């Protein structure tokens, strides 16, 4: 690119989710998935693993910004995207290669879950958003699918409870009939 472009991995993930329906773009989606997984933080500004920062791109150079808009939404959406990619292609190579990062993303969701069942956007921004919680719910369900698909040993009951609690809280706390 001949100019600087600010990107959030979250927004690119939304485009990639849409691109999966075009079989000609699946190799590009896989490239994005791997790009994302390679950049997962081990210990971010909040002391968390499984997060990813926003980026400024200029040509083939990247400037990582120590910021993100949310953690629950980013992690949830990515897990949904990876799950959909695996379902549509049957390719589980990324799950096997980057399992620790995937597991860390699922853990960020459980870490951010509050007593009422909802997740907060970030530890330093404890706001509960409907969209983020829907993404977190989808992300945990996707994580369960990915673990089964790759025959990974996780505490399925623990993560199913996380998902169930998010779903119940969406309907019982956020829904205003």
Query: What average pLDDT does the segment 53-69 reach?
Result: 93
110, 118 Cβ separation under 8 angstroms? no
pLDDT for position 177: 85
CATH number of 5-174: 1.50.10.20
| 25: β partners | none
**pLDDT, tens digit (0-9, with 9 covering 90-100), for 6-17:** 999 999 999 999
Q: Distance between CA 67 and CA 39 in Å, rounded? A: 13
Q: Distance between CA 79 and CA 67 in Å, rounded? A: 20
The answer to whether the predicted template modeling score (pTM) of the entire model surpasses 0.85 is yes
Q: Distance between CA 89 and CA 103 in Å, rounded? A: 21
For the chain, the domains span: 5-174
Transcribe 118-140 into DSSP letters: PBPSBTTB----HHHHHHHHHHH
pLDDT for position 1: 59
- In this predicted structure, the answer to whether residue 2 has a pLDDT above a threshold of 90 is no
Residue 3 pLDDT level (bands cut at 50, 70, 90): confident
């Amino acid at each position: 690119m001949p100019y600087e472009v600010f990107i959030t991995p979250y927004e690119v993930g939304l485009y990639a989710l849409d691109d999966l329906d075009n079989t000609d773009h699946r190799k590009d989606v896989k490239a994005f998935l791997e790009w994302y997984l390679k950049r997962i933080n081990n210990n971010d500004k909040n002391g968390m693993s499984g997060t990813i920062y926003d980026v400024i791109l200029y040509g083939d150079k990247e400037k990582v910004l120590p910021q993100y808009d949310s953690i629950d939404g980013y992690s949830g959406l990515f897990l949904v995207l990876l799950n959909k990619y695996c379902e549509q292609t049957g390719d589980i190579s990324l799950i096997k290669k980057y399992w620790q990062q995937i597991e860390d993303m699922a853990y960020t969701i459980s870490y951010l879950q509050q007593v009422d069942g909802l997740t907060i956007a970030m530890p330093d921004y404890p706001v509960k958003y409907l969209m983020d919680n829907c993404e977190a719910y989808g992300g945990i369900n996707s994580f369960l699918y990915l673990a089964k698909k790759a025959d990974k040993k996780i505490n399925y009951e623990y993560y199913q409870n996380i998902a169930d609690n998010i779903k119940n809280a969406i309907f019982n706390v956020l829904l205003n009939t």
